Homo-oligomer: A and B are copies of this chain.
């Protein structure tokens, strides 16, 4: 009998009213407020009870106003970019109320300096005892550029070139203190060994930084690096730098293909093919019966707004659908040729049979995150099958209700994953890197 494969779990969050699901804030049972700390500290403690490897905040640096060239719809209806708090202070708070779970956040390499980012994550890694993770993004939309005075916005590949150099600088800064540079000999008054603290003297195309970092080497040395790039350039970047790769794929076949791509890209980058863990987004609806799970899903779906979904889709696809009649079928519009880029809508309804409103509603349900609807046994079985088949190393669990989805998952699915030997029953190592290490997944 073969050993069950370890399954790595991440809780997906945004510090705002919408996560993937646009129904989050509209749920009448959502008592805690997404601007209040208690909401977040509760979730962190809950996911730690569920032995998750880590949790993670997506982020973006602008409201969205691509839909109708205006922020009106997104703000009124609550799209994914309506508001997002800065995740770093929230992670600091989470560090204070947890002891094991990893703590990750998005930061952009396009709108900050390596020295600032290196300090933030080195600090989070120290105060959390080695639990920091950084999701590296290059920032895709014009709204972000306009908030930072970068007009016109840098091109896609240029942003990744800058991101590569950003990572080089950040890694040099994290490495500028050798592990044993801190002496702390109180009696003799020796704080550090200057011979083990190094200038980095980086001078490149985008950045100059002398260093060293003014923070001693952190428990993990550097944060766990997360990446979600799905373009060719993005995959090469992830293969070079990442410890964890996030993906959103609609089914097991596509998950398997994506993961195979990642393995090949890692090998091409000269790294072991399993050097980076591939985690797939899933949105579970868990009931005591399948009927109850379906009721939860239907309640959830009744709470999403088509225009909110179209506003988010407009931002993600950099296209505008506001001129389209809501009750027209996508297929008819495409056929009429009256609109340009309809690829985004076609990705929601390949055969064009949905109306614009229906497509917006589907996107608002969860940004195409695949849904697992059933009993805890059903969900555990499906997750187990995906990991066992090698189609993924684990999952980014995306909540449909907060904190309810995580409560259901931790209370009902986690024990089954533990019983199957996929998931630790308690944390073995001290750092997030320990949780992610090949031997660290199973208890």
Contacts and interface: CB of A to CB of B under 8 A. Distances in A.
A123 B76 contact: no
Size category of the binding interface on chain A: 35 or more
B147 A211 contact: yes
Interface in A376-407: none
Nearest to A201: B146
Contacts of A75: 191-194, 197
A372 interface: no
Interface string A177-190: 00000001010011
Interface stretch (A108-116, A337-345, A431-439): A108-116
A61 B116 CA distance: 8
Most chain-B Cβ atoms within 10 A of its Cβ — which of A112, A146, A191, A216? A191
A94 B96 CA distance: 8
A310 interface: no
A292 interface: no
Nearest to A85: B123
A26 interface: yes
**Which 7 A-B pairs rank lowest in CB-CB distance, beginning with the nearest?**
A92-B92, A78-B191, A149-B208, A89-B92, A93-B96, A146-B210, A86-B123
Given A76-B191, A148-B209, 4 more contacts: A25-B184, A75-B194, A84-B215, A85-B123
Interface of A: 15, 17, 25-28, 35-37, 40-41, 60-63, 70-72, 75-78, 81-86, 88-97, 111-113, 115-116, 119-120, 122-124, 126-129, 143, 146-149, 151, 184, 186, 189-194, 197, 207-212, 214-216, 303, 305, 308
